[in-house]
Structure 1
Amino acid sequence: MNGPLEPRQNNPLVNARAQLEATVDLLGYDRSTYEHLATPRRELTVAVPLRRDDGSVELLTGHRVQHNFSRGPTKGGLRFSSDVTLDEVRALAMWMTWKCALVDLPYGGAKGGVRIDPRGYSTGEIERVARRYTSEIMPILGPATDIPAPDIGTDDRVMAWMMDTYSVNNGHTELGVVTGKPVALGGSLGRASATSRGVAHLALRAMELRELDPGSSTAAVQGFGKVGREAARFLWDEGVTVVAISDQFGAIYSRAGLDIPAVEEHVAVHGTVVDFADADRMSARDELLELAVDVLVPAAVEGVIHEGNAERIRASIIVEGANGPTTIAADAVLQAEGRLVVPDILANAGGVVVSYFEWVQANQAYWWRETEVRERMTERLDTAWSRVSALSQDRAVSLRAAANMLAVRTVVEAHQARGLYP
């Protein structure tokens, strides 16, 4: 009933379904409930023809998966990546459902992707991809239906093109059809840094739980893109010594700690953290994951902590800035070793919280101050953290298990309250 899985090592959908199955068992639901929640409500795969700048035509593949509608319209990012698969998009959409439920947003989860490496294309070509993809998925898109946001390989500019394409085809400007837009087009103040700020905030809450002083603690951040870059900066601002960071080209390390603003300046000039003057280059990029630090922030892609390296993870706290960075097999190892894992559906929920605020502001045509946005985001994350921590202690389960239990129960209660039609 759930459909065949694509043959891919560390397939994220395998992990997502395994997490769901374990949660359903903990909550005492029946098999039909698992089947319902494991199966996306709607999937759309589209051809995305692209006219290249040289006049040739290339055919790309895009996906949009809407996992669950029980609590409201679906919400989720759009990524442009050569690694995009339908199973990946299915898994990310499912995780998005749990994330929205955990922080009490009136959404279900969705995700989209186009299989393309944007680094090999001009700005004009990326715009044509974004606009054609939008036009292809338009039948299932809308501010009351499905609201995309930026993800890997996309940004506020791509969201502006999507919003414009949708608006032109509908004959009026519709600011609420996407989030993560430029502020000039109805974007929310504080949206760009929301995910990173939330990751850093919850890292500090986890450090409190482990009685670690930020001023004498160390951290390593995998990924120096949308999430990792500012998460490293926010931790550095709080006095945490960030000893290592990585990007797709390599990793750097400094026992004394990296000057994160200086690293940011280096990346702005060179496009990578590699060859930063005041650090050593690590022999292998993923060696960073195994450093003896207090806090590890995997903020790149899914499946980077797996059964092949889980026993070598030495960080006391792992804060999942990325979606699905830890496989289910690795998670069991980390729990057995006493590592504190702040799960993705909690750790990186700051982004979707502020996306919700942007959607609300766009629908009302009334915008909030950045201080209001930050305060309201922090309040939502703190409430979720308190609920997850309390259930974790009460049921003697991991933070991930507790977060999943709260989220799945919320979705099931909404589904049962609505009933089955017809």
Structure 2
Amino acid sequence: MSMKAPRGTVDILPEEAAKWQFVENKIKEVCSRYHFDEIRTPLFEHTEVFQRGVGDSTDIVQKEMYTFEDRGGRSLTLRPEGTASVVRSFIEHKMHGNPSQPVKLYYFAQMFRYERPQKGRMRQLNQFGVEAMGSADPALDAEVIDLAMSCYRELGLKSLKLVINSLGDQDSRENHRQALVDHFTPHKDELCSDCRTRLTQNPLRILDCKTDREHPALKTAPSILDYLNEESIAYFEKVKTYLTMMGIDYEVDPNLVRGLDYYNHTAFEIMSEAEGFGAITTLAGGGRYNGLVEELGGPATTGIGFGMGLERLLMALEAEHIEIPADQDLDCFLVAVGAEAERTSVQLVHDLRKNGIQVDRDYQGRKTKAQFKAADRYRAKYVLVLGDSEIQQQLVNVKEMNTGNQEQVPLTQLVEYLQGKLSGGNVHA
């Protein structure tokens, strides 16, 4: 039996977890300013949610899902992406009836995909995403893209590229679909087995194929932009105008189709151009999905969202040499000297914590010198020395480790003293 984490999964140890917490908190601050609220959905769903929501022709559904039967014989799947779950919740809880529209949601969630593990792309991955449902205003598309870019910018990333495309409305997609079928059919036998299947199921996905990307037929394939009707062109022009007004640079890529079936109109990806980041440059991607709520059994409701891989975000920060604050210094460490002091320290530590002060103590029965070494390892800002004589005098010796300064503080004033010191005040006993 292997006592290692399963292939494609990693442990996030405390020092790294502190970096994750900083990144997540920064993103939450951005979401709050954009008036997005957090939603948390189950780790697994009925398999049909993803089959209908993500699309039967996608690699996710065909190859990558972790699906199992429960004891009642029901088919369940660990979520491979976030949008379908959020839309299912949106329908189930009748959020479409909320008086405040659009409904703007964000999530942090673990996703599960059975694919070949590589740096920044694991079988259990962590994702941040947003979904905004209930408005067909292209300004909302621009806002969602702006939110994603703001998350990266506020964390310090500079080497970013935004790529956008329009997949058009249903009529535009149908016309383009037929053009793709006509274009690729003569080359059918030259395409990979996946693309031969896509030719009948969803030919747009051929443009996203990693195997056939260098095939000449992909380079000469009809562009969706040539098949957009007037309404779709006007919609896309508004999105581009709003991005320009916000000062957000972008490139239009007619071959950007995204890997999921539910997209229409706006599609986008944000990529890292940092040196040494790696061959797979995509950091985030998303788009508009005006038919997805109906596909999952809800009323006609428009929506737009994106997913952002947190592992890849951390890789991008590393590639641009951006230091993430991960303060693990301890505020106070209590050194107890003597049996009575050890007994009293239990209550004292409890009282300090109750008053908002971070503190730890020795639980190994170590000598005084060893306790001070432990305080050093924890990078404690202050060491509180409590001995039997101090208990008799109702005092605590407080040593500031940075300067070596030491003061005797009455027990009754300790909380106020430490609160002042830790807040940056110049407090004396």
TM-score when scaled to structure 2?
Answer: 0.26
The answer to which structure has the higher strand fraction is: 2
Q: Which has the higher helix share?
A: 1
Which is higher, the Rg of structure 1 or of structure 2? Answer: 2
